[in-house]
């Protein structure tokens, strides 16, 4: 196969990939980031499979005593018809530092899949 034919084939494959990519894991953004302790921030993202429900895993900084690690699975969040969500959160944690927030989504068979991971900095 000629070099030009390979380039055309690769470009054609890339054009066929959906905007969210091949894996429907979605994205995750916090605004503002960093956020002040006890301040409000918006957690949002797009690229999730429709229909699905989302839950989040929050892990606090290593210096936190006791450690911070929990899931929001008790209140799963849905996505709109475009696979996007937006939700207001509060940085209520009793410690500052870098938190890790991971999105988890459900596929068509009901299996839970890891979505995106975000580092959120909470300042004093």
Count structural domains, the chain: 1
Asked if residue 109 is part of any domain, the answer here is: yes
Asked if residue 7 is part of any domain, the answer here is: no
Q: What's the whole-model pTM score?
A: 0.76
Residues spanned by the domain of 56: 22-123
Asked if residue 67 is part of any domain, the answer here is: yes
Each residue of 4-53: pLDDT tens digit?
333 434 333 333 333 333 345 789 999 999 999 999 999 999 999 888 88
Asked if residue 4 is part of any domain, the answer here is: no
Q: Please provide the DSSP assignment of 46-82 as one string.
A: --B-SS-EEEEEEE--TT-SS--EEE-TTS-EE--TT
Pairwise CA distance, residues 27 & 118, whole Å: 9
Each residue of 54-109: pLDDT tens digit?
999 999 998 888 899 999 865 567 889 889 999 999 999 999 999 999 999 988 88
Q: How many other C-beta atoms can be found within 10 angstroms of the C-beta atom of residue 47?
A: 21
Sequence-distant (≥ 6) Cβ neighbours of residue 99 within 8 angstroms: 58, 59, 60, 61, 68, 93, 119, 120, 121, 122
Asked if residue 12 is part of any domain, the answer here is: no
C-alpha dihedral sign at 28, 30, 34, 37: negative
Asked if residue 100 is part of any domain, the answer here is: yes
CATH of the domain at 103: 2.60.40.10
Q: How far from the centroid of its chain's Cα atoms is residue 47's Cα?
A: 9
Asked if residue 71 is part of any domain, the answer here is: yes
Residue pair 114/55 in contact by the 8 Å Cβ criterion: no
Asked if residue 31 is part of any domain, the answer here is: yes
């Amino acid at each position: 196969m000629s070099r030009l034919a390979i380039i055309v084939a690769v470009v054609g494959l890339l054009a066929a990939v959906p905007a969210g990519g091949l894996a429907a894991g979605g994205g995750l953004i916090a605004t503002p980031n960093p956020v002040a302790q006890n301040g409000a921030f918006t957690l949002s993202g797009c690229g999730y499979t429709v229909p699905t429900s989302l839950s989040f895993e929050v892990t606090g900084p290593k210096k936190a005593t006791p450690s911070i690690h929990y899931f929001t699975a008790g209140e799963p969040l849905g996505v709109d018809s475009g696979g996007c969500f937006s939700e207001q959160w509060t940085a209520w944690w009793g410690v500052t530092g870098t938190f890790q927030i991971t999105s988890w989504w459900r596929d068509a068979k009901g299996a839970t899949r890891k979505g995106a991971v975000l580092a959120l900095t909470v300042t004093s």
